[in-house]
Structure 1
Amino acid sequence: MQKKRKYIKEIDGLRALAVIMVLAYHLKMPFAKSGLLGVTVFFVISGYLITGILINEIEESGGVDLKNFWLRRIRRLLPAVLSMAVVMIFVSAVVNRVVFTKGCNDLLSAVFGYNNWWQIFRKVSYFENAGAPSPFTHCWSLAIETQFYLIYPILLILLSKARNRGKIFAAVTAVLAMISVVLMGVLYSPDGDPSRVYYGTDTRAFSLLIGALAAIQKEYHIIKVKLRGKLWAVIGSISVLILIGMMMLISSYSSFLYYGGQAIVSVLAAFVVYAVTVSRSLLNIILGSSILKWIGDRSYSIYLWHYPIIVLMSGGKRAAWWIVILEVVLSVGFAELSYRFIETPVRHGIIGEYIGIINSRPHNRRERHRQIQVARRSLKAMAAVLATGLALSLCIAFVPKKTTLDTVAKREKKATEVTKLTNQKLKEQKAKKTAKTSKSTMTDEELLKNVQMLLIGDSITVDVTDYFYKVLPNSISDTKIGRSTLTGVKVFDEYQTQKKWDGDGVIFALGTNGPMYDTLGRIRQKVGDKPLFLTTVHAPKEDFESSNNEEIRKFVKEHEHTYLIDWYTASADHPEYFDQDDTHLLPKGAEAYAQCIKDAVLKAMRAEEKVNDKV
């Protein structure tokens, strides 16, 4: 067994790549479609390093000093996140009251390490951000690491009394990792909101545990694999390339990530970490470069600061290039200040050192002068902390809040009302169902009054429903908050098979909550020869907005009986249409949306009549 763990700068290089991809993802960079996988890499690295520390202590002393271990973790994590949180509360109170309100609600969960479950239990949707996201949303990953640091050391202590503890460590850790992977796959549903799976400690712990397995293998050589260093170098290099490729090419909304993709990323990251510890190659030179090491050293700080800065400056939208540059500069700048003046001194024990000097008995004038200086600095620091705490409390208590949560509650209530109205409309249509008559002899007003359209939508069309029924009174609006395109196809299946709906056409108003996947072809086939209307989306905070709209327009051009409702173009340069999140609709926007539907349906139905007359 190694008595001391050798510092491996290449791991800092891997950290740097991970934080760069996370930063690029939140900046909506097109080359980082799944940059969020950088967080998975962080988990693996943390699991590896922490487990190595614990195993060394167990082997040297027969146990783990939990108090000392947890104090070290607190010194590493808490000062930086607390300073970031305090600054963001003060700044957002001045520049963005919605972000301030959400930050106040999430402050304690971010600082004390339960942010992930806080979001789950409050049902904060992965898709529906209710306006600007919280500046502390990214603290969910820190919460998972904190919970791992609390639980896993206790588990190793309990298992350390076994005779073959290395094998026991490996077996139990592997089983727990497998359970976590299975839970992610079982609990994930492509038709619903993946927040529970994405944020859950139980469904994300496998990444930390796979890192832990790599550390156990490194220390105990459980699997007797005789691979030379050069071969491990090849494995590590290939793994890095695959990792980068997955982060660049796979959509962050892909179901693959939940059905094993995250586990594959974890294994690849573990291969890289293991490879750089047992081999020397070009991979070590690249990951150990001074630039990547500098970024890696500050990766925790960069991760902490970048997200709230982006939220405050661009609200999660795609920003102009100069704003992106400014966001990067500020993120790195604040990270450097935090790393240099907060994290490093605290991690190196400056607080304990100062307490020791103050409590010591000076032997000479020089030591006495030093003691007085330290006491004065400590008093100033304590006064600053108390003043900041008081100011923070007063700020949270008395600065007026501005929340979008009431809007969300109203929208959820409206969605419930829409569902009841939909069921009522279906019953009415069945009760008065008569033979269909030709619409060619109808006036435009009569046609709109009698046409039977089925609108399948999400929370955007929840706001539109009342206006929709004004222009198409004999149609049906089936809308639900958070609905994805995949769910939309299943909704139409239910109308065909269970509800026996047989109307004149379908309006597929989805695409705000994720990519289109392969739904356009599927819904076109299921609708048959009836008109299918596809709506372009206005979702400026989402990186799939342009790709979805491009796919929709192309599909409409290439398929018969398929028509475009171009909401994206109609809503351009109309900020008065939108709520604070720049996606959901105010009454004026909802009315304009319904007008787009009316115009498109009337034009398409007249076109369909001409085709039928020729036949």
Structure 2
Amino acid sequence: MSQSKAYTLPYRPAIDGLRAIAVLGVIFYHLQEPWALGGYLGVETFFVVSGYLITSLLLRDIAQFGHLRLRRFWWRRIRRLGPALWVFLLATVALSRLIAPATWPRLRADLPAALAYYLNWHYIWRHVPYFERYLHPPLIQHLWSLAVEEQFYLVWPLFLALLLYSRRRAAPAARLAWLRRLWPLMFALAFASLARMGWLAQHEQWTWAYYGTDARAAGFLIGGAFAFLWPLGAAHEVSQGLRRWLAWLAPLGLAGIFSAYATLHEFTPWLYPWAFLGVALSTAAVLLPAALAPDSLWSRALGHPLLRWVGTRSYAMYLWHWPLIALFRPGAECLWPHSLCVLGHLLFVALLSEWSYRTIEHPIRRWGFRAWARTLPRRAGTLGAGALLFALTAGFLTWRPWVNVEEATAVIESAAPLALTATEAPHPTTATLAPPPRATNTEPRRPPAMQTATPPRPSALALASTDKVPSLPASLSAPLTAVLSPTATEARLIGTPSPAWTCYVTLIGDSVMARTYSTWMAYNGLQYQFYMDAQANRTPGQVLPTIDRLAREGYLYPNVVLHIGTNVMPSPGILDQIFSRLIRAGVRKIYLVNIRRPVGWLHVANQRLAQAAERWPQVILVDWAAASEGHPAWFLADGTHLSQRGAQAYVALVRQAIDKYGCAP
């Protein structure tokens, strides 16, 4: 067999099937499906596949021509990836200006970096986290991976050319053989990249660990190392026994990929770098039999026509899916039933991807720019179809059926958001009430400002009346759940406070709770005194020093309302530490409010909160997630932070729990 024939890259349908799995994982992750918590790891699968295919392509050039044709390689990469990207960016700019002008300033700042393929470093420099998305996430944030890939396409051939130059006096075949024997070096570089990722994560540089080319090069290098061993197009080098062994790796690799995509959420403690390494090796376990044993059972299954169709359009799907989701997120802007939101997104992503593939990508890759431009007069129909599809997409992203008009208008408030840090006490009055005497001297100091005899005047976002808690609809009484053990019976019998004594409550939370500040403070009087310490972006781990500080300052009262987990999923260990520290500090009752946020890991976080409440008899679970289900008017456009109506409902629900289960004196 000649060298030319040996290194010809054949088409392997199973590789497109692997691409399909990767892109669907990413899409369903962004659609916040609870069974795709680790779908973002599909990008790592893409990196391994790209590293393997590109290295095989470069080795083919060396085998056929004795050197690397760098300009031709880079030009083919531009022709393959550039046109679809340029059309996509043009359409995204139009969508931003027409239907979401609030996204335009961020998009305008990101465009140069996207066009020049350094968007990942742009986000590192600007400290734009990948996993923190609330209102108006960046419309082209997903192009960070394309930037990393293009940087690999630029540097990797130069690195191989430098290695070849060091052996320039050897015969071409000897140079190629020597180069392929360097596969241990490629694995060493891959593990160096993983070590870099782990070091960055250990030093809490999460943005760099996720976006950085130095931290994410391992996937490309692992794919390239396996290409050095068994390049695509060199199946003759693989023995029949090795081919059978590789074929049995495929189901193991698929099991690893699917389990990672399903379970490895962004709060997995060993995510950096071990989850990425596991996905890379699992991908290689599927990729090698797909390339070298195409007749195996699993390779034929991956080459199914439907998977092949998705795989050939995976680049376009990856481009188009994110701005559609960012502009019309299930649970936020998309107020339809979740399944209809998902189906609508999948339909338009498929249509836009098919149009891009047939009109832009495939013709230019096959014939080139000039030949494609000459066919444009004959493509008036397809271009018109693209314009119609764009208009339908814009209509889809702005359509609001099944939404109560009165509730929808309540979400769009003109009121400025509350300060994200609310730790000050309510406004003092001239009359104060001394706290009731206690048997010990360990009672926390109650500041005079917390002992008003007359409730302060409500602010603009407070309730209209302060003499009665607004009652929730009867349908919302059921979602209030309590997790108690018999040891808490005595505390529950304390009952509702009266003017004879005052119920003191400390509120600890994040920016969601901060938006309820005025509503809580409107109730301060003879029966209740509330003190809030709520800070934006507060994580569960940051609650521990907050508890210590409040205890020192005398603001940690026997009753605590705790709202955590919006920003970072709480671990069981940290929850137990929080409850233990609160109880040691003298807290007798803890009202734990679970969360609502349009993310796929919501059910996991709330399950952890519920399980933690079951372990502690002093903890009562207040089910805000269930109570707020189906009430979009209670939230701002991000689906997480509260509107005025939402703040009132939130406070009413928690106070209903306090009235029902008692207040510790």
Normalising by structure 1, report the TM-score: 0.77
Q: Answer yes or no: is 1:200 the counterpart of 2:212.
A: yes
Kept after mapping to 2: 8 A contact 1:448/1:471: no
Q: How many angstroms does 1:43 deviate by?
A: 0.8
Kept after mapping to 2: 8 A contact 1:489/1:522: no
- What amino acid does structure 2 have at the position aligned with 1:24? F
Q: Which residue of 1 aligns with 2:537?
A: 482
Q: How many angstroms does 1:604 deviate by?
A: 5.1
CA distance in 1, matches of 2:582, 2:200: 31
Q: Measured at CA, do residues 325 and 567 of structure 1 come closer, stay the same or move farther in structure 2, by a change above 3 Å?
A: closer
Matches within 5 A, 1:444-463: 444=498, 451=504, 453=506, 455-463=507-515
Kept after mapping to 1: 8 A contact 2:190/2:217: yes
Q: Answer yes or no: is 1:185 the counterpart of 2:189.
A: no
Q: Which residue of 2 aligns with 1:436?
A: 443
Q: How many angstroms does 1:37 deviate by?
A: 1.8
Q: Measured at CA, do residues 524 and 309 of structure 1 come closer, stay the same or move farther in structure 2, by a change above 3 Å?
A: same
Kept after mapping to 1: 8 A contact 2:313/2:357: yes
Q: Which residue of 2 aligns with 1:243?
A: 257
CA distance in 1, matches of 2:212, 2:565: 26
Q: Answer yes or no: is 1:542 the counterpart of 2:549.
A: no
CA distance in 1, matches of 2:544, 2:205: 15
CA distance in 2, matches of 1:20, 1:93: 28
CA distance in 1, matches of 2:445, 2:276: 55
Kept after mapping to 2: 8 A contact 1:456/1:491: no
Q: How many angstroms does 1:504 deviate by?
A: 2.5
| Residues 254-263 or 515-524, more deviating | 515-524
SS in structure 1 at match of 2:561: strand
CA distance in 2, matches of 1:87, 1:12: 26
Q: Measured at CA, do residues 480 and 207 of structure 1 come closer, stay the same or move farther in structure 2, by a change above 3 Å?
A: farther
- What amino acid does structure 2 have at the position aligned with 1:328? L
Deviations 1:141-167 (A, max 9, x none): 111111111222211111222347426
1:110 to 102, 111, 114: 114
Q: Measured at CA, do residues 168 and 590 of structure 1 come closer, stay the same or move farther in structure 2, by a change above 3 Å?
A: farther
Q: Measured at CA, do residues 573 and 434 of structure 1 come closer, stay the same or move farther in structure 2, by a change above 3 Å?
A: farther
Q: Answer yes or no: is 1:516 the counterpart of 2:531.
A: no
SS in structure 2 at match of 1:255: coil
Q: Which residue of 1 aligns with 2:466?
A: none
- What amino acid does structure 2 have at the position aligned with 1:94? L
- What amino acid does structure 2 have at the position aligned with 1:260? W
Kept after mapping to 2: 8 A contact 1:127/1:513: no
SS in structure 1 at match of 2:364: helix
Q: Answer yes or no: is 1:215 the counterpart of 2:227.
A: yes
Deviations 1:557-597 (A, max 9, x none): 56311123443355456544433212123455446545555
Q: Answer yes or no: is 1:580 the counterpart of 2:637.
A: yes
Q: Which residue of 2 aligns with 1:129?
A: 133
Q: Which residue of 1 aligns with 2:314?
A: 299
- What amino acid does structure 2 have at the position aligned with 1:60? Q
Q: Answer yes or no: is 1:531 the counterpart of 2:589.
A: yes
Kept after mapping to 1: 8 A contact 2:250/2:289: yes
Q: Measured at CA, do residues 193 and 446 of structure 1 come closer, stay the same or move farther in structure 2, by a change above 3 Å?
A: farther
CA distance in 1, matches of 2:444, 2:186: 68
CA distance in 2, matches of 1:438, 1:255: 39
SS in structure 1 at match of 2:621: strand
1:170 to 180, 183, 189: 183
Q: Pairwise CA RMSD of aligned residues? A: 4.0
Q: Measured at CA, do residues 503 and 326 of structure 1 come closer, stay the same or move farther in structure 2, by a change above 3 Å?
A: closer
Q: Answer yes or no: is 1:271 the counterpart of 2:285.
A: yes
SS in structure 2 at match of 1:188: helix
Q: Measured at CA, do residues 13 and 67 of structure 1 come closer, stay the same or move farther in structure 2, by a change above 3 Å?
A: same
Deviations 1:237-276 (A, max 9, x none): 2212221222223334322322401111101111221222
Q: Which residue of 2 aligns with 1:311?
A: 326
Q: Which residue of 2 aligns with 1:7?
A: 11
Q: Measured at CA, do residues 183 and 501 of structure 1 come closer, stay the same or move farther in structure 2, by a change above 3 Å?
A: farther
Kept after mapping to 1: 8 A contact 2:634/2:647: yes
- What amino acid does structure 2 have at the position aligned with 1:563? I
1:321 to 339, 342, 364: 339
Kept after mapping to 1: 8 A contact 2:37/2:601: no
Q: Measured at CA, do residues 420 and 584 of structure 1 come closer, stay the same or move farther in structure 2, by a change above 3 Å?
A: same
SS in structure 2 at match of 1:31: coil
Q: Measured at CA, do residues 27 and 130 of structure 1 come closer, stay the same or move farther in structure 2, by a change above 3 Å?
A: closer
Kept after mapping to 1: 8 A contact 2:187/2:222: yes
Q: Which residue of 1 aligns with 2:74?
A: 70
Q: Answer yes or no: is 1:97 the counterpart of 2:135.
A: no
CA distance in 2, matches of 1:441, 1:532: 15
CA distance in 1, matches of 2:568, 2:179: 44
CA distance in 1, matches of 2:312, 2:544: 48
| Residues 210-219 or 113-122, more deviating | 113-122
| Residues 140-149 or 551-560, more deviating | 551-560
CA distance in 1, matches of 2:639, 2:285: 43
Q: How many angstroms does 1:67 deviate by?
A: 2.2
Kept after mapping to 2: 8 A contact 1:162/1:168: no
Q: Which residue of 1 aligns with 2:165?
A: 161
CA distance in 2, matches of 1:70, 1:316: 42
Kept after mapping to 2: 8 A contact 1:132/1:315: no
CA distance in 2, matches of 1:313, 1:114: 27
Matches within 5 A, 1:8-23: 8-23=12-27
Q: Measured at CA, do residues 595 and 238 of structure 1 come closer, stay the same or move farther in structure 2, by a change above 3 Å?
A: same
2:350 to 315, 322, 332: 332
Q: Answer yes or no: is 1:34 the counterpart of 2:38.
A: yes
Q: Measured at CA, do residues 262 and 494 of structure 1 come closer, stay the same or move farther in structure 2, by a change above 3 Å?
A: farther
Q: Measured at CA, do residues 489 and 186 of structure 1 come closer, stay the same or move farther in structure 2, by a change above 3 Å?
A: farther
- What amino acid does structure 1 have at the position aligned with 2:537? G
Q: How many angstroms does 1:228 deviate by?
A: 1.9
SS in structure 2 at match of 1:507: strand
Deviations 1:395-430 (A, max 9, x none): xxxxxxxxxxxx9xx97x944x657999xxxxxxxx
Q: Answer yes or no: is 1:146 the counterpart of 2:150.
A: yes
Q: How many angstroms does 1:599 deviate by?
A: 5.3
SS in structure 2 at match of 1:129: coil
CA distance in 1, matches of 2:357, 2:596: 39
Q: How many angstroms does 1:209 deviate by?
A: 1.3
Kept after mapping to 2: 8 A contact 1:133/1:315: no
Deviations 1:515-554 (A, max 9, x none): 3331434433343373222112121x21233443354345
CA distance in 2, matches of 1:569, 1:76: 48
Kept after mapping to 1: 8 A contact 2:509/2:563: yes
Q: Which residue of 2 aligns with 1:362?
A: none
CA distance in 2, matches of 1:377, 1:312: 33
SS in structure 2 at match of 1:323: helix
CA distance in 1, matches of 2:256, 2:7: 34
CA distance in 1, matches of 2:605, 2:104: 32
Q: Which residue of 2 aligns with 1:24?
A: 28
SS in structure 1 at match of 2:217: helix
CA distance in 2, matches of 1:335, 1:571: 36
Q: Which has the higher helix share?
A: 1
Q: How many angstroms does 1:10 deviate by?
A: 1.7
Q: Which runs of 5+ in 2 are unaligned?
A: 168-174, 388-412, 427-439, 447-493
CA distance in 2, matches of 1:137, 1:514: 20
Q: Measured at CA, do residues 269 and 316 of structure 1 come closer, stay the same or move farther in structure 2, by a change above 3 Å?
A: farther
Q: How many angstroms does 1:77 deviate by?
A: 1.2
Q: Measured at CA, do residues 458 and 126 of structure 1 come closer, stay the same or move farther in structure 2, by a change above 3 Å?
A: farther
Q: How many angstroms does 1:600 deviate by?
A: 4.5
